[in-house]
Amino acid sequence: MGTPELAASPLLGQPLVTDEDAVRSRDRARVHDARHHRRRWRLLWLLVGPGILAMLGENDGPSMIAYASDGAQYGLGFFVPFIPVLFAMSYVCQEMCMRIGAVTHRGYGELVLQRYGRAWGLFGAADLTLTNLVTLVAEFIAIRVGLAYFHLGPGVAVALGLALVLFTLSGGRYWRWERIVLGLALFNVLFVVAAVLVKPDAGALVSAFDFARFPSGSFNTLLLLLASTIGATVTPWMIFFQQSASADKGMTPADVAHGRYDTALGAVLAAACGIGALVAGAALLTHGGSGIQGFAGAGFPEALRRVAGGGAGAVFALGLIEAGAVAILTISASTAYAAGECVGVTHSFNSSPRDAAIFHAANVGVALLAGAVILIPGAPLLSIALNANVLATVLLPVSLLLMLMLANDKPLMGRWVNRRSTNIVGIAVVAFVAVCGAAYGIDSFLQTAHLIGS
């Protein structure tokens, strides 16, 4: 690995210390200090980050539009309880990633590549890069939709996204990157504010916790709904991101309990904000919400303005800008981690651009490429955005299965291997995702090829 040495330790037998080690060591010193002095809240503050970012990062532009679209088409029933169930599934997966990262201090990409061979490692990286690129395009579209409400064009959306990527990279330190993105991610609660502003019926909200109200529609429509909603909560980039970020943050097995708090807190916040978008969208149920083409113009924010007032429209538009911006930062980071890990070079926010050129170039490059797509006149943006989550869902079982194998790898994980109960839930999640993704992929293909009727 091409990491520059800072100095060799004077003590015989101790490892060489690189610049990256030095930066990480300073962050760890604060964790040791908080733990030593039993400052619980400070310790929690220092150790939260990757879990919240993975969960709120997945509450991205397409996901929030998907939730609002579900609400506008089907109302609150079924989806209000379904969203928390999906985030509970997501918690099971993300907890494993965090644990593997904290125990092995290595990212998902490099472990798969080294433990299970180059074919799977490179497939995982290629799968991630493809789905990330498509998803990033959708994030820029979401920012564009939000900005359109304020009469700003796509050029501003691209400039804003790229400026944020460059700004967060500028400190040369994981801690700084994480705190800036965390600060931005908390504005995901704008969707809860939007839900309050549309003045939902509290009774309808409570009675929505009834799984019996399965949405009506064709088999393919239902599969698309399931596949895109699953794709809005569990994705390959989250797996790469949280494991690599946990390792980059310097987490150790002693931090696993706090990593679980971090992941659970992220899941609760993300579920609440997702339900917020659903409730806001449901305000359009009886106002032609099902016909909204969210990506064609101002879409949902403009429709909300007409139904619930300018405040609700503006808050929803700002929420879309935030959701897209945070996802651009986290998804670009996951691409950069995967690139560095699979090429076998330095991959850390704690390294300078000179020392980790591929990592930083991948981070900026993938955002730049996605931003360029939305500036192409006549590009099929709606189709790209709608298929982003579905494609991620279809390819997800591979990432989940390899993650389960890593979490059960005794020589690698030692006493931190999965418990039996975790495996039962994990296998059930993989099977559910695989069946939904495959069923949608096969059914859509058969319809497109005119082998069955719609």
Q: List contacts with another protein (CB under 8 A).
A: 1, 3, 7, 9-11, 14-18, 20-22, 24-26, 28-29, 32, 104-106, 110-111, 114-117, 120, 123, 127, 247, 250, 252, 346, 380, 383, 387, 390-391, 394-395, 397-398, 401, 405, 409, 411-412, 434, 437-438, 441-442, 444-445, 448-449
Instruction: Copy the structure tokens of residue 106.
Output: 């290595």
Amino acid letter, 245: A
Distance CA 140, CA 153 (A): 11
Shortest CB 56 distance to another protein, Å: 27
Shortest CB 233 distance to another protein, Å: 19
Alpha-helical segments (H) within 344-416: 357-374, 381-407, 410-413
Determine the 3-state secondary structure of 7 from DSSP.
strand
- Taking CA atoms, 303 is separated from 258, 287, 313, 414, in Å, by 41, 9, 7, 54
CB within 8 Å of 303: residues ≥ 6 apart: 284, 287, 288, 289, 292, 313
Shortest CB 32 distance to another protein, Å: 6
Shortest CB 436 distance to another protein, Å: 12
* Nearer of residues 117 and 310 to another protein, judged by Cβ: 117
* Nearer of residues 216 and 448 to another protein, judged by Cβ: 448
* Nearer of residues 189 and 222 to another protein, judged by Cβ: 222
* Nearer of residues 116 and 261 to another protein, judged by Cβ: 116
* Nearer of residues 29 and 424 to another protein, judged by Cβ: 29
Distance CA 2, CA 25 (A): 19
* Nearer of residues 127 and 178 to another protein, judged by Cβ: 127
| H and E: helices and strands count for the chain | 20, 2
Radius of gyration of the chain (CA): 22
Amino acid letter, 104: T
Shortest CB 224 distance to another protein, Å: 11
* Nearer of residues 321 and 392 to another protein, judged by Cβ: 392
Instruction: Copy the structure tokens of residue 126.
Output: 């290629």
Distance CA 355, CA 259 (A): 29
* Nearer of residues 23 and 195 to another protein, judged by Cβ: 23
Name the nearest CA neighbour of 278 among 70, 88, 84, 87: 70
Shortest CB 448 distance to another protein, Å: 5
Distance CA 240, CA 54 (A): 10
Shortest CB 98 distance to another protein, Å: 15
* Nearer of residues 104 and 135 to another protein, judged by Cβ: 104
What letter would DSSP give residue 291?
Answer: G
Shortest CB 348 distance to another protein, Å: 8
* Nearer of residues 29 and 163 to another protein, judged by Cβ: 29
Virtual torsion, Cα 115, 119, 121, 127, nearest 10 deg: -150
Shortest CB 93 distance to another protein, Å: 17
Count of CB atoms situated within 10 Å of the CB of 350? 27
Determine the 3-state secondary structure of 309 from DSSP.
coil
Shortest CB 258 distance to another protein, Å: 16
Measure the CA angle with vertex 26, ends 22 and 27; round to 5°.
120
